[in-house]
Structure 1
Amino acid sequence: MDTELLKTFLEVSRTRHFGRAAEALYLTQSAVSFRIRQLENQLGVNLFTRHRNNIRLTTAGERLLPYAENLMSIWLTAKKEVSHTSQHNELTIGASSSLWECMLSEWLVALYQQHKDLQFEARISQRKSLVKQLHERQLDLLITTESPKMDEFSSQLLGHFDLALFSAAQKTTKSELKYLRLEWGPDFQQHETGLISNDGVPVLTTSSAQIAYKLLQQLNGCSFLPVEWAKKREGIYLVPDSTTLSRPLYAIWLQNSDKQSTIKELFKTPLIAQ
């Protein structure tokens, strides 16, 4: 099976348009059409119904879709594993946007200064996606506020950091402010109850601390931000009647990872200032 045929099939199924699929794949539209015909000939079925601009998956196409996604995922993982045999100095680290903005970017700077022989990939995504990537060996190290309960993972508690409500207005209580929800993981949402005003329906939900920070003044809002990070920002203040929450920070990796010794060496560089 030619993986390029599957890749083309997935792009056409995503865009439902041969022209847009061609643009995304940097191919001509005729090349895309030819690849789809090749795949259909190999399988002996039609994968799409074609009526001008109305392109839809056939029943056979719908059935192929999850298999194609899985096969491409396995192929990409295999490519990475094979490439890692000659790239042992490359390490992929994944975390949420807020963790990268508030803590990990400075840590990465320190890592480059202390480990000049290493190359890093800093990957930003939601925790659920990163856990999946770690499980599929597309990720070497996950930094998160919640440790996944999976036997094949090893974990290390790196420390704790404090979250508190901050706003752009001095001496303004939380009942006078609109709530901007910054995502700190599913279990943190349980702690939010009772810590914000009774009608604290978020006017904004984001995974970026920078976005929340930028909109505090414009939206007359408040948001839970890391205390040490917020202290370095201009124009924001601790909400007087807010509660400070301590959050753990974990490092997660596969127990049988061939990068374990390198990963543990990284932790000699403090991630959270003591």
Structure 2
Amino acid sequence: MDTELLKTFLEVSRTRHFGRAAETLYLTQSAVSSRIRQLETQLGVSLFTRHRNNIRLTLAGERLLPYAESLMSTWQLAKKEVNHSVENFQLSIGASAALWEAWLGSWLETLYQQRPALQLEARIAPRHLLIRELHERQLDLLITTEPPKMEELASLQLGQFSLSLFAHGPAPEDSPRPYIRLEWGADFHTLENRLLAGNTQPLMTTTSAHLSRRLLASTTACAFLPSDWQNAYPELQLIVDIPPLVRPLYAVWLQNSDQRPLIRQILKTPVI
């Protein structure tokens, strides 16, 4: 069905005049008559009775009228929604809370400075849940420290970041310093256990970097936090006998994702 035929039918039914309908639609009167004939041929019925300047809807035309109005209204709404999605670049991005707090929040600020019309959904969840959402196409892009080894997923290393062990205040006397375990990825636990031998029972486990930082002030605990936070938060005291840990950062998406062009565009903006 050509929506222009319905549009012409609705205008003729409103004006009850082929000439006035032609003026409103910026068409010739013969073009309007041709469109009405095409629509009548498709439906196999007459839609108007024509007696000189007295144009009236037939019974078939009366029955078509509400459907034509509904179809045109739906078509206009569909065009509006499609154009809106193209203009605003809908995209969902997922990562752990710690990555959002440490680096991805600033990255989003830069993206919106570059593309004010951008519309994003930022999701915070554990990595295994975000990978499942990728497969189910509920998520477009995953930022993680470990690229999943699955053929259907594409990945790109975005860079590296450094984590240092920080505390707030002196260590407790005659007892090991408590430890707050922050989720920086499954394979990170192997590295931290090797460095913190004998202190494997964490005071707390969390996914929030800012929560870990705040708790350092009210406890004697230590935690691995972004190394550059020492500049942003001078109260953090570096534990110098534990070397920094360097971690990779990856972007992951479905190889056949419809959002690949937009994903490539936004990944041109450095994350770290």
TM range (shorter): 0.5 to 0.7
Residues 165 and 222 in structure 2, CA contact (< 8 A), matched pair in contact too: yes
Residues 152 and 254 in structure 1, CA contact (< 8 A), matched pair in contact too: yes
Q: TM (normalized to structure 1)?
A: 0.65
- Please give the secondary structure, in 1, of the residue aligned with 2:235: coil
Partner of 1:62: none
- Please give the secondary structure, in 1, of the residue aligned with 2:138: coil
- Please give the secondary structure, in 2, of the residue aligned with 1:247: strand
Partner of 1:156: 156
In structure 1, what is the Cα distance between the partners aligned to 2:154 and 2:219? 41
Partner of 1:87: 85
How many residue pairs align between the two structures? 189
Deviation, 1:231, is 2.9
**Letter in structure 1 aligned against 2:192:** E
Residues 167 and 223 in structure 2, CA contact (< 8 A), matched pair in contact too: yes
- Please give the secondary structure, in 2, of the residue aligned with 1:132: helix
Q: Which runs of 5+ in 1 are unaligned?
A: 1-82
Residues 97 and 208 in structure 2, CA contact (< 8 A), matched pair in contact too: yes
Deviation, 1:160, is 0.2
- Please give the secondary structure, in 2, of the residue aligned with 1:251: strand
Residue by residue over 1:64-83, the C-alpha shift from the partner in whole angstroms, topping out at 9 and shown as x without a partner, is: xxxxxxxxxxxxxxxxxxx8
In structure 1, what is the Cα distance between the partners aligned to 2:145 and 2:259? 22
Residues 172 and 240 in structure 1, CA contact (< 8 A), matched pair in contact too: no
Deviation, 1:220, is 0.5
Partner of 2:5: none
- Please give the secondary structure, in 1, of the residue aligned with 2:107: helix
In structure 2, what is the Cα distance between the partners aligned to 1:172 and 1:266? 46
Residues 142 and 253 in structure 1, CA contact (< 8 A), matched pair in contact too: yes
Partner of 1:115: 115
Partner of 1:188: 188
Q: Which runs of 5+ in 2 are unaligned?
A: 1-80
Residues 95 and 143 in structure 2, CA contact (< 8 A), matched pair in contact too: yes
Deviation, 1:199, is 3.0
In structure 2, what is the Cα distance between the partners aligned to 1:269 and 1:146? 20
- Please give the secondary structure, in 2, of the residue aligned with 1:147: coil
Q: TM (normalized to structure 2)?
A: 0.65
In structure 2, what is the Cα distance between the partners aligned to 1:199 and 1:158? 32
**TM-aligned CA distance change 1:230 to 1:124, over 3 Å:** farther
**Letter in structure 2 aligned against 1:199:** N
In structure 1, what is the Cα distance between the partners aligned to 2:153 and 2:83? 22
Deviation, 1:217, is 2.2
Deviation, 1:141, is 0.4
What pairs with 1:29-40 in structure 2 (closer than 5 Å)?
A: none
- Please give the secondary structure, in 2, of the residue aligned with 1:201: coil
**TM-aligned CA distance change 1:172 to 1:110, over 3 Å:** farther
What pairs with 1:48-87 in structure 2 (closer than 5 Å)?
A: 87=85
Partner of 1:257: 257
Residues 168 and 237 in structure 1, CA contact (< 8 A), matched pair in contact too: yes
Identical columns (%): 47
Q: Which entry has the higher C-alpha Rg, 1 or 2?
A: 2
In structure 2, what is the Cα distance between the partners aligned to 1:85 and 1:245? 46
Partner of 2:205: 205
Deviation, 1:185, is 1.0
In structure 1, what is the Cα distance between the partners aligned to 2:117 and 2:261? 14
Aligned-residue CA RMSD (Å): 2.0
What pairs with 1:227-242 in structure 2 (closer than 5 Å)?
A: 227-242=227-242
- Please give the secondary structure, in 2, of the residue aligned with 1:185: coil
Deviation, 1:97, is 0.1
Deviation, 1:118, is 1.5
Deviation, 1:235, is 0.9
**TM-aligned CA distance change 1:172 to 1:251, over 3 Å:** farther
